A and B are shown apart, each in its own frame.
Chain A
Amino acid sequence: MAQKEATIYIVDVGRSMGERRHGRSVTDLEWAMQYVWDKITTTVGNGRKTANVSVLALRSDDTSNELREDAHNSNISVLSRLGQVLMPDIRSLSDSIKPSNTNRGDAISAIVVAITMINEFTRTLKYKRKIVLVTNGTGPMSDNGLEEIQKKIVSDGIELDILGADFDDPEYGVKEEDKDPHKVIFTPKKWWESCLCSLQTHRHKMRACFVDSLKAAGGTYGTLEEAIAELETPRIKAVNPMPSFKGMLRLGDSQKYETAVQIPTQEEEGDPKPSQGDALTAVRMARTYQVDDPSAVGGKVDVERDDLAKGYEYGRTAVHISQIDENITRLDTFACLDLIGFISQDKYDRYLHMSNANIIIPERANDKASLALSSFTHALHLSSFYAVARMVTKENRAPLVVLLAPSINAGYECLIEVQLPFSEDVRSYQFPPLDKVITVSGKTITEHRNLPNQDLQEAMDNYVDSMELDHKDELGNDVLPIDESFSPLLHRIESAVRHRAVQPDNPILESPEILTKFAHPDEELVKNSASLLENLISKADVKKVPPKTKGRKRQRETEKPLSGLDVDALLNQEPKRANISPDNAIPEFKQMLSRAENIETIIGAVKQLCAIIESQIKNSLGDANYDRVVEELGTLRDELVDYEEPALYNDFLRSLKSKMLLEELGGDRRELWWLLRRSKIGLIDRKASDRSEVSEEEAKEFLSPS
């Protein structure tokens, strides 16, 4: 459980905060609020009821606070009391935070008010208490009871952060020219000190005391500029590790040693789970169930949910399972972590990792287990082995095969556990070798246009060597920059949601740079290896295929079988193929086109296929022929793009559409039209073929629901 929190933001809304300075496009207040809003909305986004937030306005026009009897506390207003902040609070806050018409109001008194509020709210309970003051530091200050305030802050454990707009921080590198004549001090620290000093007789004592007390309570000073710049670095939510398995790491039946606890270390869902729904009204899902019934209209009939039993598909056979047997297909297992055997570390292929990694540590407060597990970990490490084990995390869960790898660092040691693939998880797709080419006749050749020659290999070697990254850890070991890379989508959406909540009318923000830090190689690195890259490019001689010719039949050369036999010659001898047979339409159509010597033959072939398509639609019982029609239309389309006769296809498709919608092809064929739309076999537009007269918009329009 996260700790309870009480945070009060004191926002200076004095008249001077409404000014724009130093060429900034926003007022001091708007600038300061960037920071405050980000902080508040982050809290809201966490959705925790125990995160209480309050906002005080300093130098406000009116006065509304618990201590308003005291004249010191005038021009301080409580805008929202401590509590969970929800959207209505955000709206009312953004309405009320406006520059006021006064510069009166004491910052120290505001702190006093905040302390009082926190005290009343949290009493002596365990809370994380925090006050954040954002100001441009041009207002007056009172020294009334300063010493007690300091003591109180320390004794209550309140963290006080003070952020100043236009506090010159020499270390941060902003110099401000048009200094307010009254503001002679340069750093926020000095500003505070001076404000206090100017009103204090025992200045030395006071100053040291206040600063120390701030430090003691974990407080910070800073400029807004720094604070806002820091906002870009995403905040990482700490997740408490939770054990997901407690049990014995066992070897065989003979050896058991005391409990190992397994704790998930990694992997968090990278995507904030968006809740579905319209802004105005939630969407309700309704499910209805249908079964095939050839006698019914449309071939399907609705069935009641109550008439349905649970079951599974075995092939196309439905297997229903009665309620008593509900778990019949579940393999009965008990939780375990049983060693199967050991494998060599250098023979392990790293890509076999199937899952996120967990760690295995000994049972808590069990010294003997710790010693035993440690000897196991060290032995694996020493003999360069990994262990393979069978793991069931809880009773009746599916067994997993996991890899156990030793991890021994200076400060920590554990076993890393990752899932390995089962035989069903491996798909054996085959690919030709990359270092040689095997010809059809079985000959192995090593010089081929698909293989690098020596020049190219050398150029590649040199380039790769020049692009070596220099990330190292403290010990000088090579590491990957994992701790500097943040989930771009997660943080971008979170920040967009926060931004939208506060400023519903503003457009979404650009992605912060830090999220895409690794989207491109380092500029310096690129510059240094530029000449080697140039060399590589020239040796590689890679040519981009112009988009228009992509997918086009290569020189209209027909494919030949392995032997190189000229099948076309054989085809020509077959006299009967003058007409396309509906049974063998696609091959015969393709072959007729490839043999065509003039446009008339092509037109003739297209006409024949079109007639076949129409008759198949007409004679289709329900949707029986639809897939065939889609295939034939798709083939027709592809071929006519290749043969640069898009008009033939477009004309046919137009007439087909109107015939279908007018129900001239055997009744209601809207379902087929819908299928054609989904299969994206609409008109051939100019993008697909430069001979087409159809614009992209026109093609889109043609497919859109009428």
Chain B
Amino acid sequence: MADDNYVRDDEDFDEEEVDETSYRSVKDAVLFAIDISSSMLTPRPSNDAKKPTEVSPASAALRCAYHLMQQRIISNPHDMIGVLLYGTESSKFYDEDGKSRDDLSYPHCYLFTDLDIPSADEVKALRALAEDEEEACKVLKPSEERVSMANVLFCANQIFTSKAPNFLSRRLFIVTDEDNPHAESKSLRSASFVRAKDLYDLGVEIDLFPISRPDHDFNTSRFYDDIIYKTAPSDGEAPAYLKPDTNTATAKGDGISLLNSLLSSINSRSVPRRSLFTNVPLELGPDFRISVNGYLLLKKQEPARSCYVWLGGETPQIAKGITTQSADDTGHVVEKSEIRKAYKFGGEQVTFTTEEQQALRNFGDPIIRIIGFKPLSALPIWANVKHPTFIYPSEEDYIGSARVFSALQQKLLKDQKLALVWFIPRKNATPCLAAMVAGEERVDENGVQKVPPGMWVIPLPFADDVRQNPEYARHAPPDDLVDAMCNVIGQLELPKKVYDPQKYPNPSLQWHYRILQALALDEDVPETPDDKTTPKFRQIDKRAGDYVMTWSELVDENAKSMFGGTAATKSTLVKRGPKDHDAGNPPSKRVKVEGGTTNLDDDVKRSFERGAVAKLTMPILKEFLTAHGRATAGKKADLVDRVEQFYEEKI
């Protein structure tokens, strides 16, 4: 019963990111343009003695593209991705097979993956190419003739124009180690600049991922500074060109570090910036406002819902559901505007007109209004209801917003303060009281920004939302017991004593898509999931085992003296059978904290061995299953099955 009230996922429908003003559809298209030259194809040895692999820059780029493709299927299922190889001997474009050389529109441009939402076959093909499978590698042959960059850019232009019309964000990712493609020809250079301007005017953003050669640092000023624009066409405030980023990719890395830095910098651009709200006033005092934009930097990623598939055709097809609403009595179709919301009340429905409904929900225009400041310590760790919103200044409504915001952010950082704000993120949104805290910029080891500098608005719970803590019997622990536990904790710090979300992919989400991928590509379904959230048991045992023993003995001693033997311990739910260790593992140092006389696990195990699990009572079965994290729903036969399964798995 608790389950039904207890909703873990926060399905907040009015939080979808929408662009209120634009006629463009809020979608993203990324086209990789990967330079296939002989230097790009030269493998670079890795210095790592343990993993003597060789990776060429081109293959690193393809792996990144493959990685991004897989990732976007999960995170942005409606966004497009494509891969264009250039500088290849062969050419491929729509309806052109590259055989007759004369009528080629874009020679040495090979559209390997057309710009679209990827299909399973395309994922497979790209993977084959990235993993150096022979057949696929016939494509990766550099041409002797130099490819015209103007042509490459116009080719990209045509792909975007025809495949991703009216997209809010269109991005061309160029991966190359050539910093001066047309050093010798002025006209080819100018042609490239003109085509780059076309892309800019079309609203396509160029993101460069430069790779330095072992003997030569990539120098953007030689060519690329002329084709890349300072601001992104779709997002005027976004600096398309964050300098620190590109510096890192230009490091003369060996194969693996090149791949890693490329991955890191592509990952940081994997999704275009989409705002949650734009130009909302941040009111510092009466008559003093600046404007800010809001972004969702943290949002729970859920697997896409299941859909219906039509199997009547040659290939399975997704059926689109269309909902029509009709009146219950007459059956005639009703328009949205005819529908009113009703509230159940006293067995009947109470209704409001649309205008009244709107008036009820209207608590004023969107605003973030500061009503005062408090030390950061006033914000309790429990006072949280959902993910925060990130805000960053915008100069569009108020010139000077950036400097005021910066002054406020620095003051709050310096003095460890928070601002208490009245928060209405968008029109007709429910207002709430929120804590606005300053966030510092964080960069990773490659110098790529991980957490941007700005402020976070954390919605606070209302008095209505706070529940009463249930009472229970508390026993103050003696100091030596606490110290013993401190020793255990001290042994098990996470790296750098911080939680890094990047190290923990969501295991159930990954598994869901891993299986789908296997089914879609007709591969074998993998046996065991790769779950990074599973604790490192062996390491824990090695590092903290002895301290744990000390602590547990102390618990036993104290419990004995405080509660006298077993009297105070709850009767049955006390023992579990030891987890069977694999032969190679060190012997189990299991600690039985629990006292008590009845031994549930042993009883159940004995019953199992006698084949008499069915004779156990329901409460015992339930307690046993709960203790082992198994479900306890269902009839007795189900529970018996589950218990038997539990032991069968262990044998």
Contacts and interface: CB of A to CB of B under 8 A. Distances in A.
Do A and B associate with each other?
yes
Interface string A609-651: 0000000000000000001101101100000000000000000
A378 B477 contact: yes
A315 B73 contact: yes
A627 B371 CA distance: 45
B411 A251 contact: no
Interface string A480-524: 111111111111110011101100000110010000101111100
A166 interface: no
A544 B317 contact: no
Interface of B is mostly: mixed
Contact of B489 (A290, A303, A383, A633): A383
Contacts of B415: 464
Nearest to A584: B198
Contacts of A26: none
A492 B303 CA distance: 35
A312 B304 contact: yes
A561 B226 contact: yes
A323 to B, nearest CB: 12
Contact of A237 (B464, B568, B576): B464
A471 B172 CA distance: 53
A336 B534 CA distance: 11
Contacts of B410: 434-435, 452, 457
Interface stretch (B86-94, B127-135, B227-235, B608-616): B227-235
A561 B465 contact: no
B597 interface: no
B10 interface: yes
Contacts of A400: 8
B173 interface: no
A382 B555 contact: no
Interface stretch (A189-197, A199-207, A567-575): A567-575
B262 to A, nearest CB: 15
Interface stretch (A98-106, A215-223, A529-537, A661-669): A529-537
Interface stretch (B30-38, B48-56, B95-103, B535-543): B535-543
Nearest to B162: A628
Nearest to B244: A438
Nearest to B6: A244
Given A267-B461, A290-B319, A493-B360, A418 B384 contact: yes
Contacts of B110: none
B584 interface: no
Contact of B317 (A292, A359, A385, A508): A292
A512 B125 CA distance: 63
B309 A318 contact: yes
Contact of A367 (B122, B490, B559, B581): B559
A531 to B, nearest CB: 11
Contacts of B461: 266-267, 356, 482
B469 A412 contact: yes
A258 interface: yes
B404 interface: yes
B285 A529 contact: yes
A367 B381 contact: no
A296 interface: no
Contacts of B174: none
A343 B166 contact: no
B558 A371 contact: yes
A365 B334 CA distance: 58
B197 interface: yes
Contact of A350 (B225, B351, B379): B379
A424 B228 contact: no
B229 A560 contact: yes
Contacts of A490: 462, 464
B433 interface: yes
B591 to A, nearest CB: 5
A87 B573 contact: no
B306 A311 contact: yes
Interface of A is mostly: mixed
A426 B297 contact: yes
B409 to A, nearest CB: 6
Interface string B389-414: 01010011111111111111111100
A316 B384 contact: no
A573 B323 CA distance: 56
Interface string B505-540: 111110111011101100001000101011101001
B486 interface: yes
Contacts of B75: 424
Contact of A405 (B289, B381, B472, B498): B381
Interface stretch (B139-147, B210-218, B623-631): B623-631
B349 interface: yes
Given A372-B593, A399-B533, A574-B194, A279 B342 contact: yes
Given A355-B8, A430-B268, A634-B166, A520 B369 contact: yes
A468 interface: yes
Given A357-B381, A399-B533, A480-B460, A627 B165 contact: yes
B74 interface: yes
A275 B350 CA distance: 10
A619 to B, nearest CB: 13
A594 B260 CA distance: 43
Interface stretch (B39-47, B57-65, B251-259, B447-455): B447-455
B420 interface: yes
B184 interface: no
A143 to B, nearest CB: 39
Given A422-B505, A482-B460, A329 B166 contact: no
A363 B432 CA distance: 35
Contacts of B383: 357, 480, 482
A91 B300 CA distance: 47
Contacts of A550: 396-397
Given A339-B535, A542-B399, A290 B320 contact: yes
Given A284-B328, A403-B499, A435-B453, A340 B494 contact: yes
Interface in A33-92: 41, 44-45, 47, 85-87, 89-90
Contacts of A383: 486, 489-490
A90 B345 CA distance: 11
Given A430-B242, A627-B25, A680-B23, 14 more contacts: A251-B548, A252-B548, A253-B581, A263-B470, A277-B339, A287-B321, A331-B511, A370-B475, A440-B225, A450-B406, A482-B462, A491-B464, A508-B356, A537-B287
15 contacts: A237-B464, A252-B545, A320-B311, A343-B497, A368-B563, A371-B481, A390-B533, A422-B501, A434-B441, A450-B402, A482-B461, A500-B351, A500-B352, A521-B285, A536-B284
For the complex of A and B, the 6 pairs showing the least CB-CB separation, nearest first, are: A334-B629, A335-B629, A379-B485, A252-B540, A242-B2, A311-B309
